[in-house]
């Protein structure tokens, strides 16, 4: 088993309590940071670590922190993004419910580094039980003197607030999240200004994913250089992957970045391979938004190199033959899965979740869904396939927030790599819509 940064103590009974967490070295990072380090030193370590945002975009966390504006007399905020609603992604949920103190410790260290005195954890609204777990953990940490006024006698104050989300995927987009946190409708804002300059209540704000923040205690304890030594290239550290689909062992895995995709899918240490008697057909590697890849392209890049679980390797080949690590929602499909139906399903999601501000996304997501629905039910025609490509292209890049792109990519990539299957649906609708019908592209199964 590889090195574990986040999940090392996950199996310890009672790890969700302050006592057990503390016994396993918990909150030492708070002690170290607050007592021995200046806030800027913490920022420096995070920068050195090279850790990249785990929420999807993979933006270097230290760099984001150093962009935070610091005008005099204006509060700064840290907001943790725990909205996790991307289909196929369930790692933050897992982390928050099993080891809540890790996130809280990370929030304290990070807030200290950024000079925030009031920080928020915005948790997906459906996860009320997780919110209760977090609130209980916060109360414990407060009772132990790690939160509140004058933490550990260092003079640093921090209040931590858990906010139930607005019940929409779009509230995971950072500026929509801030609107929602302010008590408004969760519509993404136009950027610039970016949150680092004008975020929550018009004050400089950093928004980071749960997993990103959970990495900070380890970085403080062991140093940024030690973190940077883990992983491969600019993909440093470990990553939580939430694997689902037709594999033997679905679940949440912490992997060292750089593990070959083939090993991740087939080794017993991880997913254990495709369920018996079936073949790998396609993988959506980073949550529903990223391009889907057929088996041969997920295992090897177009140049024939082994594909690795890292930011760079997964995006090798651009969108023509690559994809993205995204949020780490790894969805595996065997030959019984219809890519066309699956694309329709994703489209339905984005249609449902578009906030409706910008016309390309509002109208385009609904359009794509309706066309796909027609195709799936045997009423498509050949022109529809090109129409879908064109509509997706006209949404992509032309919207306020990346949800428009996220809706366009799955459609564009599915047609790029599985066009023959779409054609099968429109040319042989009776056959394709039969219950249990499976399209067999002979050359791409592994």
Which chain residues interact with another protein by CB under 8 A?
168, 170, 185, 190, 351-360, 362-367, 370-371, 374, 383, 387, 394, 397-400
Q: How far is the CB of 247 from another protein (least distance, A)?
A: 33
Given ligand FMN, another protein, ligand SF4, none, residue 109, with its beta carbon under 5 to 8 Å by kind, binds none
The CA distances from residue 413 to 113, 215, 288, 363, 371, in Å, are 40, 32, 12, 20, 16
Which of 6-14, 50-58, 270-278, 301-309 is the region at the interface with ligand FMN (rule: CB under 6 A)? 50-58
Residue 366 contact partner, candidates another protein, ligand FMN, ligand SF4, none, CB within 5 to 8 A by sort of partner: another protein
Which token pair is 142? 């407060």
Nearer to another protein, 271 or 355 (CB): 355
What one-character DSSP code corresponds to residue 289? T
Min dist CB 287 to another protein, Å, is 20
Compute the distance between CA of residue 312 and CA of residue 308 in angstroms, rounded to an integer: 8
Binding-site string for ligand SF4 from residue 333 to residue 372, where x marks contact by CB under 6 A and - marks none: ---------------------xxxxx--xx----------
Partner in contact with 85, chosen from another protein, ligand SF4, ligand FMN, none, beta carbon below 5 to 8 Å by kind = ligand FMN
**At 419, which helix (H) or strand (E)?**
helix 403-427
Listed in sequence order, the residues at least 6 apart from 15 whose beta carbon sits closer than 8 Å to its beta carbon are: 9, 21, 24, 98, 99, 101
Residue with Cβ nearer ligand FMN (174 or 316): 174
Q: Cα(387)–Cα(392) distance, rounded to whole angstroms?
A: 8
Spatial CB neighbours of 118, under 8 Å, sequence gap ≥ 6: 75, 77, 158, 159, 161
Nearer to another protein, 236 or 365 (CB): 365
> Closest separation between CB of residue 19 and ligand FMN, Å?
29
Residues 171-210 that bind ligand FMN (CB under 6 A): 172-174, 207-209
Residue 37 interacting partner from another protein, ligand SF4, ligand FMN, none (CB closer than 5 to 8 Å by kind):
none
Site for ligand FMN in 384-413 (CB under 6 A): 401-403, 406
Distance CA 295, CA 280 (A): 6
Could you give the CA distance from residue 337 to residue 287 in angstroms, rounded to a whole number? 17
Residue 97 in the binding site for ligand SF4 (CB under 6 A): no
Site string for ligand SF4, 383-422 (x = CB under 6 A): ----------------xxx-xx------------------
Site string for ligand SF4, 274-313 (x = CB under 6 A): ----------------------------------------
SS3 407: helix
- Partners of residue 32 on adjacent β-strands: none
Cβ-based neighbours of 148, under 8 Å, separated by 6 or more: 142, 157, 158, 159
Identify the helix (H) or strand (E) that includes residue 393.
helix 382-395
Q: Which of 41, 62, 40 is nearest to 51 (CA)?
A: 62
Nearer to ligand FMN, 81 or 246 (CB): 81
Identify which of residues 95 and 170 has a Cβ nearer to ligand SF4 in the complex: 170
CA angle 127, 52, 291 (to 5 degrees): 75
* Nearest to 53, CA basis, from 65, 67, 39: 65
- Tell me the C-alpha to C-alpha distance, in Å, between residue 174 and each of 179, 181, 347: 9, 10, 22
Q: Which residue lies nearest ligand SF4, judged by its C-beta?
A: 361
SS3 83: coil
Give yes or no for residue 59 binding ligand FMN (CB under 6 A). Answer: yes
Rounded to 10°, the helix 359-376/403-427 angle is 20
The site that binds ligand SF4 (CB under 6 A) totals a number of residues, namely 14
- Rule CB under 6 A: choose which of 170, 181, 200, 298 binds ligand SF4: 170
State the binding partner of 53 from ligand FMN, ligand SF4, another protein, none, CB within 5 to 8 A by kind.
Answer: ligand FMN
End-to-end CA distance of the chain: 26
Compute the least distance from the CB of residue 377 to another protein, in Å: 13
User: Which residues of this chain interact with ligand SF4, rule CB under 6 A?
Assistant: 170, 188, 354-358, 361-362, 399-401, 403-404
User: Which residues of this chain interact with ligand FMN, rule CB under 6 A?
Assistant: 53-57, 59, 64, 81, 83-86, 169-170, 172-174, 207-209, 212, 401-403, 406
């Amino acid at each position: 088993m590889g090195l574990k940064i986040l999940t090392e103590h996950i199996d310890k009974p009672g790890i969700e309590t302050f006592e057990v967490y503390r016994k396993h070295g918990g909150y030492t990072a708070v002690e170290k940071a607050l007592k021995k380090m200046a806030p800027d030193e913490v920022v420096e370590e995070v920068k050195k670590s090279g850790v990249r945002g785990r929420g999807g975009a993979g933006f270097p966390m230290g760099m984001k922190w150093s962009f935070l504006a610091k005008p005099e007399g204006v509060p700064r905020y840290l907001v943790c993004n725990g909205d996790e609603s991307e289909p196929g992604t369930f790692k933050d949920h897992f982390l928050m419910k099993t080891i809540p103190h890790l996130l809280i410790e990370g929030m304290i260290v990070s807030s200290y580094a950024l000079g925030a005195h009031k920080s928020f954890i915005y948790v997906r609204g459906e996860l009320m039980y997780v919110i209760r777990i977090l609130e209980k953990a916060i109360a414990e940490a407060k009772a132990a003197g790690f939160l509140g006024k004058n933490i550990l006698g260092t003079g640093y104050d921090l209040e931590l607030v858990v906010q139930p989300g607005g019940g929409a995927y779009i509230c995971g987009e950072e500026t929509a999240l801030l609107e929602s946190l302010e008590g408004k409708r969760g519509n993404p804002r136009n950027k610039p200004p970016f949150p680092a300059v004008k975020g929550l209540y018009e004050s400089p704000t950093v928004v980071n994913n749960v997993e990103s923040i959970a990495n900070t205690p380890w970085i403080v304890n062991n140093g940024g250089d030690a973190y940077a030594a883990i992983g491969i290239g600019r993909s440093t550290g470990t990553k939580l992957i939430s694997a689902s689909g037709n594999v033997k062992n679905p679940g949440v895995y912490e992997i060292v970045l750089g593990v070959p995709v083939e090993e991740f899918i087939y080794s017993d240490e991880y997913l254990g391979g495709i369920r018996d008697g079936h073949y790998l057909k396609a993988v959506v590697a980073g949550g529903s938004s990223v391009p889907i890849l057929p088996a041969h392209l997920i295992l090897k890049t177009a140049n024939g190199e082994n594909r690795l679980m890292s930011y760079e390797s997964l995006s090798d080949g651009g969108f023509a033959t690559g994809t993205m690590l995204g949020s780490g929602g790894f969805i595996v499909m065997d030959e019984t899965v219809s890519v066309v139906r699956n694309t329709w399903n994703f489209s339905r999601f984005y249609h449902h979740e578009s906030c409706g501000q910008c016309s390309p996304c509002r109208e385009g997501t609904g359009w794509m869904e309706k066309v796909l629905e027609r195709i799936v039910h045997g009423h498509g025609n050949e022109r529809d396939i090109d129409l879908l490509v064109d509509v997706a292209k006209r949404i992509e890049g032309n919207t306020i927030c990346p949800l428009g792109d996220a809706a366009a990519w799955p459609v564009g990539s599915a047609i790029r790599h599985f066009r023959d299957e779409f054609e099968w649906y429109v040319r042989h609708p009776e056959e394709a819509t039969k219950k249990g019908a499976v399209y067999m592209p002979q050359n791409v199964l592994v």
